[in-house]
């Protein structure tokens, strides 16, 4: 009799009825609607974004941890579990949902005016409007304080100029939350967020192609050439880097859970394959070296799941600190990527084909390892928490 990692660790007993229902609902949607097509989307580098957006909106996963405006108002843990099930299918699909809900929607929900919220959030939660989040620049990834994108006053208007890079959803978005340097205050305090309809003259979003990772995801640039906005376009409730960094923590939290889903899918695939593949007249799963690999991966995956659930419970109760999210992101993505690579060895030559999900997950996790904060940045966050010394510079 075989056991899954969830059974081995008794994980299902740690979830309440509502959380299990969300897991079942999103997993069923993933198996029925997404999994049969995801290898083709990955191979072609194309995703039927608009079609999926309305379906995901009906499922209730866009901004599901936010209150009001058609959002589900679910717990942080429930949102994380939904991310886990989406990333078990593909990291690009989880990224699609995460950017929409935890970056673009969260920024408007947390820092926007009533007018901005009423205009965008109901349509975004339903999937009728898509958003993106413009922070990273071609020369400033890990150091957003160095951004060159600027917003200058011209009468009652703001005029934006600059460029953003590696922006999920930007070529298909209806609205972009763009962070720019203003002259309102010196240094990072002058950084402000703007809600920018993508049909505004001077806004363009060229698609980035020829990717070897996150191919079932739409990635682009944002180019701003004298984009004129009314004063009401500025997010009124935040200034400085606190705004974008708090949004990034929301997205990173989803990754803490999502990476577990990718690792789980790889391990389940490897266990099934090893049981059906005969090598020297007996199943591959019957060899000690194979069982050692599977056992080590099961321990790493189960502890990653426990860490994700612990951080979810913290977030839902006393709150979770940025360095704690860094712990989860660093550990869980690193472990998921190691699991994907190890599972590839169990599948042998079959491990490099899209007939199985393992190499696709491994390629995707190479991006997840560095986006929303590289491993090095999260190590420095944890190091600062341990020592009290800021070693970023």
Query: Could you tell me the pTM of the whole model?
Result: 0.95
Residue after which a domain boundary falls, among 182, 211, 239: 239
Looking at the structure, tell me whether residues 298 and 381 fall in a common domain: yes
Domain assignment of residue 115, yes or no: yes
Looking at the structure, tell me whether residues 20 and 109 fall in a common domain: yes
Residue after which a domain boundary falls, among 222, 239, 256: 239
d(CA 375, CA 135): 19
Rg (CA), the chain: 21
Looking at the structure, tell me whether residues 248 and 382 fall in a common domain: yes
Q: What is the pLDDT of residue 271?
A: 97
d(CA 145, CA 139): 11
Domain assignment of residue 393, yes or no: no
Domain assignment of residue 81, yes or no: yes
> What is the per-residue pLDDT across 54-74, written as a single tens digit (0 to 9) for each?
999 999 999 999 999 999 999
Looking at the structure, tell me whether residues 381 and 246 fall in a common domain: yes
Residue after which a domain boundary falls, among 101, 126, 151: 126
Domain assignment of residue 344, yes or no: yes
d(CA 168, CA 219): 4
Query: Count of domains in the chain?
Result: 3
Looking at the structure, tell me whether residues 376 and 298 fall in a common domain: yes
> What is the per-residue pLDDT across 146-173, written as a single tens digit (0 to 9) for each?
899 999 999 999 999 999 999 999 999 9
d(CA 50, CA 172): 8
Which residue in the list 85, 221, 239, 372 is annotated as catalytic? 372
Q: What is the pLDDT of residue 146?
A: 83
CATH of the domain at 194: 2.40.110.10
Looking at the structure, tell me whether residues 151 and 53 fall in a common domain: no
Looking at the structure, tell me whether residues 258 and 139 fall in a common domain: no
Domain assignment of residue 157, yes or no: yes
CATH of the domain at 255: 1.20.140.10
Q: What is the pLDDT of residue 187?
A: 57
Residues of the chain short of pLDDT 70, as ranges, are 185-189
Looking at the structure, tell me whether residues 372 and 255 fall in a common domain: yes
Domain assignment of residue 392, yes or no: no
Domain assignment of residue 159, yes or no: yes
CATH of the domain at 77: 1.10.540.10
Asked whether the beta carbons of 343 and 297 are under 8 A apart, the reply is yes
Whether 372 is a known active-site residue: answer: yes
Q: What is the pLDDT of residue 21?
A: 96
d(CA 325, CA 158): 35
Looking at the structure, tell me whether residues 107 and 192 fall in a common domain: no
Q: What is the pLDDT of residue 145?
A: 79
Q: What is the pLDDT of residue 140?
A: 82
d(CA 301, CA 320): 22
Beta strands at 175-181 and 131-134: parallel, antiparallel or unpaired: parallel
Q: What is the pLDDT of residue 139?
A: 85
Looking at the structure, tell me whether residues 246 and 381 fall in a common domain: yes
d(CA 206, CA 208): 7
Looking at the structure, tell me whether residues 190 and 116 fall in a common domain: no
Domain assignment of residue 283, yes or no: yes
Q: Which domain holds residue 319?
A: 242-387
Looking at the structure, tell me whether residues 213 and 135 fall in a common domain: yes
């Amino acid at each position: 009799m075989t056991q899954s990692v969830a059974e081995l660790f008794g994980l299902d007993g740690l979830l309440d009825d509502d959380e299990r229902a969300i897991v079942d609902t999103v997993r069923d949607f993933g198996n029925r609607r997404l999994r049969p097509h995801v290898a083709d989307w990955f191979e072609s580098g194309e995703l039927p974004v608009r079609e999926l957006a309305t379906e995901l909106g009906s499922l209730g996963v866009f901004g599901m941890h936010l209150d009001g405006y058609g959002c589900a108002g679910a717990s942080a843990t429930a949102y994380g579990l939904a991310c886990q099930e989406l990333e078990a299918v593909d990291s690009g699909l989880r990224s699609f949902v995460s950017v929409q809900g935890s970056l673009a929607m969260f920024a408007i929900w947390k820092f926007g005016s009533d007018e901005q919220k009423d205009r965008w959030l109901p349509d975004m939660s339903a999937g009728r409007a898509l958003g993106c989040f413009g922070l990273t620049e071609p020369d400033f990834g890990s150091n957003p304080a160095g951004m060159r994108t600027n917003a200058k006053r011209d009468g009652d208007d703001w005029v934006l100029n600059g460029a953003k890079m590696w922006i999920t959803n930007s070529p298909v978005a209806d609205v972009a939350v763009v962070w720019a340097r203003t002259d309102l205050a010196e240094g990072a305090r002058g950084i402000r967020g703007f809600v920018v309809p993508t049909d505004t003259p001077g806004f363009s979003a060229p698609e980035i192609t020829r990717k070897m990772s996150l191919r079932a995801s739409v990635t682009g640039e944002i180019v701003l050439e004298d984009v004129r906005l009314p004063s009401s376009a500025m997010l009124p409730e935040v200034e400085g880097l606190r705004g974008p960094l708090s949004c990034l923590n929301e997205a990173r939290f989803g990754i803490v859970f999502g990476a577990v889903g990718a690792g789980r899918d790889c391990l389940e695939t490897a266990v099934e394959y090893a049981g059906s593949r005969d090598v020297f007249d007996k199943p591959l799963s019957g060899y000690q070296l194979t069982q050692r690999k599977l056992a080590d991966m099961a321990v790493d995956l189960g502890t990653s799941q426990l860490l994700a659930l612990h951080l979810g419970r913290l977030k839902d109760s006393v709150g979770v600190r940025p360095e704690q999210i860094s712990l989860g992101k660093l550990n869980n993505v690193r472990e998921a990527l190691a699991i994907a690579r190890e599972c590839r060895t169990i599948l042998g030559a079959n491990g490099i084909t899209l007939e199985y999900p393992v190499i696709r997950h491994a390629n995707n996790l190479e991006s997840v390892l560095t986006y929303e904060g590289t491993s090095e940045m999260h190590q420095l966050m944890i190091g600062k928490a341990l020592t009290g010394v800021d070693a970023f510079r």
